[in-house]
Structures are given as C-alpha cells and as structure tokens.
C-alpha cells in the first residue's frame, strides 16, 4: 500500500512539473513565446515562426552550457549547408579561432545555429554546441544571394532568434561565419554600451549615428532595453518591406522610440579593430576581426578569407621588431 501511495505521489509531482514548465514558457511576460506579441509601443507584426516550448528548453540548455560564467554571454553564428561543406566557410571560420591571439577559448562559448539539417549534421561533426533552427516551408540549404527573398527571410529569422536569446537572459556576440577572429574583441568593447556593432564605413566616432552599421558582428547585453529594441527592430521589417535587417537598423537607430523611450546605449566599433573588406583594418597589430563583406559569391569569399588567414600567419611568423611593416594583401 505504501508503495502504491509513493507511486501516486511521484506521478502527481511529474504532472506538476510539466504544467509548471509549460506555464513558464507560455505565460511568463518575459518568456520567449511572447517575444513578438503585439504591443502598443512598437510591434504590428507577428513571429515568422515561433520556437516550440520543447525547442526553447533545448536552446536554453545549450546556451547555459556554452555561456561565459562571468557575464552570461555566448558567441553565436548562423550556418546553412552552403557554408558548411568541408573546406568551406565554416572550416576557415573555426581555423581563425585556433590561429588568433587569445581566441581559441571562445570556441567553448560558440553556439552554431544551423538553418537546415545538413548544416546541423556538419556542425555536430566538428563542434560541440549546435542548435537546429528549423523554418518550415523555407529552404535555407543553398547559398542565399544578397537581397534575394531567401536572403531576406534568413536575415529576419536571425533577428527573431537573437531576440529570443536575449529574453532567455543571455548576452551575445553575434558573428557571421565569414568573420575571421584574430584577437579577443572584449579588449575593444565599450563597457557602458547595451548594443555595439561593427561598421561597413566608420566616420571617426563610436557615437556617430551616421556610421554605416554592419549586422555581421555585434555585441549585445541582455536587458529590458535590448529586448524591447529587438522587438522594435523585428517589427520594423513591415515598415520597410524588401529591406534586410542592416538597412532597417540604419533607418531606426535614431528613432525617438529607441533614443528617447528605450534610451538604448548604442556604440559603433572602429574598423581599425573590427575591419571588413568594405573598409579594411590597416594594422595587424590592432585588428581583432576581419569580415569578408563587400564580397559576393562563394568562391570570391573563400579566396579572400584564405588570404586573410595567410596574412595573419605571415604576420605572426615575423620577429616582433618587424611587425610594424605592412604585409597584408587584403
């Protein structure tokens, strides 16, 4: 009789746990499934495709394992099968962490967001933290050419997903997989900023809202300001249809809702430290990251990324007294 009573208690406890978790995910005001619910302050649009409660639990588990314990931050990148094939973008991206100064440790905190099954399988073969972000009815397997419908869907799916990460309580460095990591970026981040972002073209001041933002590399802290900002950013895709996330950001970064109501602290990162092929970093003694942006087509991108890595190897092979000499070819 005692055994039967114990079994009943255990079953009741299990049911209570399941109900509690479901309630947390579905009704908690800061919960990820409410992230894109309409609000009078900004949003008129709904989610492209929300994560299921099971997917949210799985995501949170991966983020918890990968996060930096001192600041609850992860490094995130997105990947489709076009960039995941052997000897392609993913391999060069991971190689840069291993070759960079003080960057190998960030591989422990890197979560690769796979946009299709093939990318997910490749991720599992080469990396420890992988999350499958499935979007039914959209084929993200092929190379998404700039400004095509699939490209736009992919960029907005990314913004939607990053907002969920913020609501789960994790800050992040988001990096495109065609960004080469050469030094620890935290040495050049601004400690007082909520949202800081690389530029295609830098105008000389981190506070200048005329800087041309680049969505391929940014550092975002998780707080109420950034959570609401990502809601506003995502919803603005309907205000500016047929624009990608970076173009929309340029249009809303000075919006009164962002600057006056949210009081979001935005900084832009100097291309001397966070360069790209639009405006390269000119000093290998300073560069933290280099982005193969302003470069179209897979073969061209791979060619330029390989050059970046080779220049970095050459630079590091030089005696210290010769490292002021410009030897890069990018």
Tens digit of each residue's pLDDT (9 = 90 or more) over 254-271? 999 999 999 999 999 999
Domain of residue 75 covers 49-317
Q: Give CA separation, 18 vs 14, 15, 25, 89, 317, in Å.
A: 6, 5, 11, 41, 57
Over 60: is that where the pLDDT of 320 sits? yes
**Amino acid 44: pLDDT:** 43
Q: Is the pLDDT of residue 98 over 60?
A: yes
pLDDT value, residue 59: 97
Whether residue 32 is contained in a domain is answered as: no
| Over residues 237-241, mean pLDDT | 88
Establish if 329 belongs to a structural domain.
no
The per-residue pLDDT for 230 is 97
Angle at 191 between CA 185 and CA 197, to 5 degrees: 55
- Assigned domain for 249 exists: yes
Average pLDDT, the chain: 84
Please check whether residue 166 lies inside any domain of the structure: yes
**Strand order, beta sheet including 179-181:** 179-181, 289-291, 274-276
pLDDT of residue 16: 45
Highest mean pLDDT: which of 19-23, 145-149, 227-231, 320-324? 227-231
Q: Which residue has the higher pLDDT, 7 or 314?
A: 314
pLDDT score, position 266:
98
Give me the CATH number covering residue 77: 3.90.550.10
Residue 109 has pLDDT above 80, yes or no: yes
pLDDT value at 4 more than 60: no
Is 11 contained in some domain?
Answer: no
Q: Is the C-alpha dihedral spanning 84, 89, 92, 96 positive or negative?
A: negative
pLDDT-based confidence at residue 91 (cuts at 50, 70, 90): very high
Amino acid 319: pLDDT: 87
CA-based nearest residue to 79, from 11, 5, 149, 158: 158
Give mean pLDDT, residues 54-73.
Answer: 96
pLDDT, position 222 = 98
pLDDT at 303: 96
pLDDT value of residue 20: 44
Residues ≥6 apart with Cβ < 8 Å to 102: 183, 184
Q: Per the domain annotation, does 222 fall within a domain?
A: yes
**Tens digits of per-residue pLDDT, 8-31?**
444 544 444 444 444 444 334 334
Q: Is residue 26 part of a domain?
A: no
* pLDDT value at residue 290: 97
How many domains does the structure of the chain reveal?
1
CA 160: distance to chain centroid? 11
Q: Is the pLDDT of residue 190 over 80?
A: yes
Mean pLDDT throughout 67-87?
95
What pTM did the predictor assign? 0.83
Percent of the chain with pLDDT over 90: 66
Higher pLDDT pick, 25 / 272:
272
pLDDT more than 70, % of the chain: 78
Does residue 67 belong to any structural domain of this protein? Answer: yes
- Predicted confidence at residue 3, as pLDDT, reads 47
The b-or-e profile of 182-200 (16+ CB within 10 A means b, else e) is: bbebeebbeeebbbbbbbb
Confidence of residue 282 (pLDDT cuts 50, 70, 90): confident
pLDDT of residue 272: 96
């Amino acid at each position: 009789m005692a055994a039967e009573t114990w079994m009943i208690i255990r079953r009741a406890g299990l049911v209570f746990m399941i109900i509690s978790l479901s309630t947390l995910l579905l009704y908690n005001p800061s919960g990820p499934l409410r992230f894109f619910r309409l609000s009078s302050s900004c949003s008129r649009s709904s989610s492209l495709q929300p994560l299921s409660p099971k997917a949210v639990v799985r995501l949170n588990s991966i983020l918890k394992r990968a996060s930096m314990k001192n600041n609850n931050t992860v490094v995130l990148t997105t990947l489709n099968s076009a960039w995941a094939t052997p000897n392609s973008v993913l391999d060069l991206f991971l190689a840069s962490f291993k070759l960079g100064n003080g960057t190998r440790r960030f591989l422990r905190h890197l979560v690769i967001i796979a946009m299709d099954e093939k990318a997910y399988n490749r991720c599992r073969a080469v990396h420890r933290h992988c999350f499958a972000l499935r979007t039914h009815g959209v084929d993200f397997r092929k190379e998404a050419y700039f400004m095509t419908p699939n490209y736009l869907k992919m960029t907005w799916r990314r913004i939607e997903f990053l907002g969920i990460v913020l609501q789960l309580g994790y800050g992040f460095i988001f990096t495109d997989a065609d960004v080469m990591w050469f030094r620890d970026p935290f040495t050049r981040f601004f400690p007082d900023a909520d949202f800081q972002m690389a530029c295609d073209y830098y105008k000389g001041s981190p506070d200048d809202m005329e800087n041309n933002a680049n969505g391929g590399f940014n550092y975002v802290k998780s707080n109420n300001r950034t959570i609401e900002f990502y809601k506003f950013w995502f919803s603005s895709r309907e205000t500016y249809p047929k624009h990608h996330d970076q173009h929309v950001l340029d249009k809303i970064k000075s919006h009164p809702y962002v600057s006056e109501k949210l009081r979001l602290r935005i900084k832009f990162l100097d291309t001397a430290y966070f360069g790209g092929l639009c405006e390269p970093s000119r000093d290998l003694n300073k560069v933290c990251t280099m982005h193969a942006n302003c470069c179209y087509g897979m073969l061209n991108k791979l060619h330029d990324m390989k050059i970046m890595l080779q220049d970095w190897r050459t630079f590091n092979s030089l005696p210290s007294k010769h490292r002021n000499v410009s030897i890069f070819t990018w």
